[in-house]
Amino acid sequence: MLKLTGKGCVADFLADRIAYRSLNPSDPNLPGLESLSRQLGLPAGLAPRKSELDYARVVVELLKHSQHIHAPGVDLKQIVFIGDTRRNDGLTFDNLCRVSGLPGVAFIGDETSAPALVEMATTESGQTLYLSNRWSALLDTGEKGFAGFCRRQGLEVDEHTAVLIDLDKTALAARGRNAQVIDQARVQAVEDTVAESSGEGFDPQAFRVAYDRLNQPEYHSFTADNQDYLAYICLILGSGLVGLQELLGAVQSGSIEDFRGFIALIERRSEELPPVLQDLHADIYARVKAGDPTPFKAFRHNEYLATVRRMGTLEENAPLERFLQEEILLTYEVASLAQRWGAQGALLFGLSDKPDEASIPTHEQAAQGYQPIHRTSTHILGDMAN
C-alpha cells in the first residue's frame, strides 16, 4: 500500500556524490570531466552519453576517487546498480562491470498494476539483471525480494561495494508509479520557452499539435530524440517560417534528413525570421555547430524551474492521487535501501542523464534560494509492506 512518509531529498543519502549529464560531479572534491578526459585519452569538450563505453570509463574513475575519500585503502570489489530501464540502465551497468572488471547485480524497476513479477536476465558480460514490476521488491528480504536475492548470491554489501543509483524515474518519480510528472515538467518547459520566445504570436494549440506529432519514435531519426532540438523545431514552426505539413513532407521524402540539415536550412533563411528570434537562432546554431547536445539553454533553465516547482509543494493533507499526478516524489524504497547500505559502509553514487542546466540553478536562481535537484526537498512515497 502506497503511503507518504514525510519529506526528504536525494542528498540525504548521496550527499553531493552525483554526476549529471556533463559528468562533472557535484562534489567539488572529485575531478571534473576535463581532467578525467585527459587522463583517459578521451575527446576534449564532449561528455559521452550514458550508453557509451567511454561514459563507463569516466564513471569508474569517479568511483575510484570517491572510494579513496570514502574508505581510503579499501578496494572496490563489486557493483550494485539501481535503475528503471532494462535497455539503457542495463547497458550502462554492463559497461561499468566491463570497464571496472568487477562483478555485480542490477535492480531494474518498472511498477505496473499487473501481479508482482520477478525475472532474471543476464548481460552480455554475464552480470545479473533482477527485473521487477514492484519497487517494494528492493526491500524484500524474502525468497523473491532483491535484498534477499543479493544475500543468497553471497553479495554482502559493505565497504567493498559501489552502489550506483539512477535519479530520474528511479530515486525520483519511480517509473510506473508517477514518472509522468517528470515528463510533464519537461513538456511545460518546452511550451513556456516557445511561448516566451514567440511573444504574442504564440499559438498553444498549434504548438501542442506539432510537439505531440514530432515527439514520436518514427521521427527520432530527425529529432535525434533530443528535447532541445524538438523545442527549437517547435519554435521555428511557431514563427511561420516553415509549416508543420511542409516539414513532415520534407522529412518523409528525405530532403531533410536530420536536425542538422534542418537548422542549416533555417540558417540560410535566418533573415526571414522575426527579429526577436534571429539572435536566439544564431546562438542555438552556433552551439549545435560546436557539438553542444543541449544548445537551447533557455529551455533547459525553464525545465529546471518546472521540475523544482513540482517538488514538495503540495499540502500534507492533499489526496494521494494528487501527489501521484502533480509531484515528483522521492522513492521510499530506493532511499531506505541506500541509507541501509550506506550504514553498512557501501559507497553510494548517483547518476542522472538530465542536463546540468535542467538540474542545477543559475547563479541568480541560487541567490534566490533554489537548490540543485538532488538537494531539493520533496515528499517521500513508498510501499510500506516491507
Are 61 and 170 found together in one domain?
A: yes
Does 321 map to a domain? no
Does 322 map to a domain? no
Are 36 and 136 found together in one domain?
A: yes
Are 140 and 279 found together in one domain?
A: no
Range of the domain at 28: 2-177+329-383
Contact 5, 384 (CB under 8 A): yes
Are 148 and 224 found together in one domain?
A: no
Are 295 and 341 found together in one domain?
A: no
For residue 123, the tally of other CB atoms under 10 A from its CB is 17
Rounded Cα–Cα distance for residues 128 and 90 (Å): 9
pLDDT score, position 385 = 67
Beta bridge partners of 106: 81, 129
Are 52 and 132 found together in one domain?
A: yes
Contact 330, 378 (CB under 8 A): yes
Work out the widest C-alpha separation in the chain, in whole angstroms.
67
Are 201 and 289 found together in one domain?
A: yes
Are 171 and 271 found together in one domain?
A: no
pLDDT score, position 386 = 58
Set of cell numbers at residue 293: 547536445
Does 10 map to a domain? yes
Does 320 map to a domain? no
pLDDT score, position 106 = 97
What's phi and psi for 80, nearest 5 deg? Answer: -120, 135
Rounded Cα–Cα distance for residues 185 and 354 (Å): 12
Set of cell numbers at residue 278: 534571429
pTM: 0.93
pLDDT score, position 93 = 98
Task: Count up the domains in the chain and report the number.
Answer: 2
Are 184 and 159 found together in one domain?
A: no
Q: Which one of 287, 303, 319 terminates a domain?
A: 303
Rounded Cα–Cα distance for residues 55 and 52 (Å): 5
Residue-level length of the chain = 386
Does 315 map to a domain? no
Does 312 map to a domain? no
- CA nearest 294: which of 195, 378, 228, 222? 228
Does 189 map to a domain? yes
Does 313 map to a domain? no
**Cell 494528487 appears where?**
322
Are 81 and 160 found together in one domain?
A: yes
Are 230 and 173 found together in one domain?
A: no
Are 10 and 89 found together in one domain?
A: yes
Contact 191, 203 (CB under 8 A): no
- pLDDT per residue, tens digit, the chain (386 aa), is 899 999 999 999 999 999 999 999 999 999 999 999 999 999 888 899 999 999 999 999 999 999 999 999 999 999 999 999 999 999 999 999 999 999 999 999 999 878 888 899 999 999 999 999 999 999 988 878 998 898 888 889 999 999 999 999 999 999 999 999 999 999 999 999 999 998 888 899 999 999 999 999 999 999 999 999 999 999 999 999 999 999 999 999 999 999 999 999 999 999 999 988 999 999 999 999 998 989 999 999 999 999 999 999 999 999 999 999 999 999 999 999 999 999 999 999 999 999 999 999 999 999 999 999 999 999 999 997 65
Give me the DSSP letters along 335-384: HHHHHHHHHTT-EEEEE--S-GGGTS--HHHHHTT---GGG--EEEEEET
Beta bridge partners of 118: 132
Reduced 3-state DSSP string for 174-241: CCCCCCHHHHHHHHHHHHHHHHHHHHHHCCHHHHHHHHHHHCCHHHHHHHCCCHHHHHHHHHHHHHCC
